[in-house]
Amino acid sequence: MSNIPTAITKTFQFGEDTVTLETGRIARQASGAVLVTIGKTQVLTTVVGAKSMKPGQDFFPLSVHYMEKTYAAGRIPGGYLKREGRPSEKETLTSRLIDRPIRPLFPKGFMNEVQVVCTVISADKNVDPDIAAMIGTSAAISISGIPFSGPIGAARVAFDEEKGYVLNPSYEALESSLLDMVVAGTKDAVLMVESEADELTEDEML
């Protein structure tokens, strides 16, 4: 009998992209772990939750860490030091982007420590890993056994004068886009919107 763990895989179409979620093969000691693949971009999301809260704790210690490794692009850091540096601005902002929509979905009064780590292990030059990380975080928490009123969905929306709204645009499409909006929420409510736009009308924006 083989000792190799069997992976559970789910695939769905998301705009023009095919999204694959895989669990059960990697990071099996985490409370929940999901490998998300969109194109050639792969993000491993792991979630670990404490079994009980610390005595005297009066807040919810949720931490989200999004990390882009240089090896994801087939490189190693140049120069004398080969180790990874401090988190970049992009990594810090993406960590906050993931945190904001999931934080309200934990039960009121739940104060067990929860740690989310999203690691970009393969990078596609046309696909931003942040949406994959948000989808993976939702899936990993949902299978972890941690109380969570999810799942959530997340998408990036662009706007082109000729094509109109574009779901999950490539980097190239974003360069000429008049809108860069990230939306996340459950089936019942929008939980987070972050956007920048180039003088769009109110009707186009809404």
User: How many other CB atoms sit within 10 Å of the CB of residue 14?
Assistant: 16
Cβ(139)–Cβ(45) under 8 Å?
A: yes
CA-closest candidate to residue 171, choices 130, 126, 129: 126
| Long-range pairs, 25-33, Cβ under 8 A, ≥24 | 30/140, 30/144, 31/144, 31/145, 31/146, 32/139, 32/140, 32/141, 32/142, 32/143, 32/144, 32/145, 32/146, 33/140
Exposed/middle/buried for residue 178 (C-beta within 10 Å: 0-12, 13-18, 19+): middle
The pLDDT score that the predictor gives to residue 72 is 84
pLDDT in tens, 35-58: 999 989 999 999 999 999 899 888
CA-closest candidate to residue 25, choices 42, 40, 47, 3: 3
Question: Residues 92-112: what's their mean pLDDT?
Answer: 95
Q: Dihedral through CA 195, CA 160, CA 169, CA 84, nearest 10? A: -50
Cβ(130)–Cβ(111) under 8 Å?
A: no
pLDDT in tens, 137-196: 999 999 999 999 989 999 999 888 888 888 888 888 888 888 889 999 999 999 999 988
The pLDDT score that the predictor gives to residue 168 is 87
Structure pTM? 0.89
pLDDT in tens, 1-20: 466 778 889 999 988 889 99
Q: Dihedral through CA 116, CA 9, CA 134, CA 121, nearest 10? A: 70
Q: Helix, strand, or coil here: 94?
A: helix
Say which residues have a Cβ less than 8 Å from residue 28's Cβ, sequence separation at least 6: 5
Alpha helix ranges (H) inside the chain: 89-102, 129-144, 171-175, 202-205
Cβ(110)–Cβ(149) under 8 Å?
A: no
Domains of the chain, each with CATH number or no CATH: 8-149 (3.30.230.70)
